[in-house]
Homo-oligomer: A and B are copies of this chain.
Amino acid sequence: MEIENAVAALSALAHAGRLSVFRMLVQASPEGLAAGEIARRLDVPANSLSTNLHILSHAQLVSSRRDGRSVIYSARHDSMATLLEYLMEDCCGGSPEICGQLADTVLRSRCTEEGHA
């Protein structure tokens, strides 16, 4: 991942409105939500939301597909993973015991009900 992509993704998330949208889409994975439904739930004007969804799309954090008159947005887990990997890069080279712990804290706690292959 190039630094520009990482900055674009982080900038996209560095905004209370967009972060709320993204988290809502993470929680609505993998079905996604229509733009109108998001606007209704967060009580924001449609045009502002649209701008913010565009920013999230451009940063590749969400994808969209049209379904009739609605446009359905979903979180892109692949890009999320790439971003997190970039933030942690070479963390473990120096001290695996520290970053392994971080890994556990962050993701095991919520993701291992039936997680690893």
Per-position binary interface string of chain A over residues 1-36, scored 1 when its CB falls under 8 Å from any chain B CB and 0 otherwise:
001101100110111100110110011111000000
Q: Are B94 and A114 in contact (CB under 8 A)?
A: no
| Cross-chain contact B110 with A88 (CB below 8 angstroms) | yes
- Copies held by the complex: 2
Q: Does A68 reach chain B (CB closer than 8 Å)?
A: no
Classify the interface of chain A: helix, strand, loop or mixed. helix
Q: Which residues of B contact A28 (CB under 8 A)?
A: 94
Q: Bound state CA distance, A87 and B90, in angstroms? A: 21
A residues neighboring B (CB under 8 Å): 3-4, 6-7, 10-11, 13-16, 19-20, 22-23, 26-30, 77, 80-81, 84-117
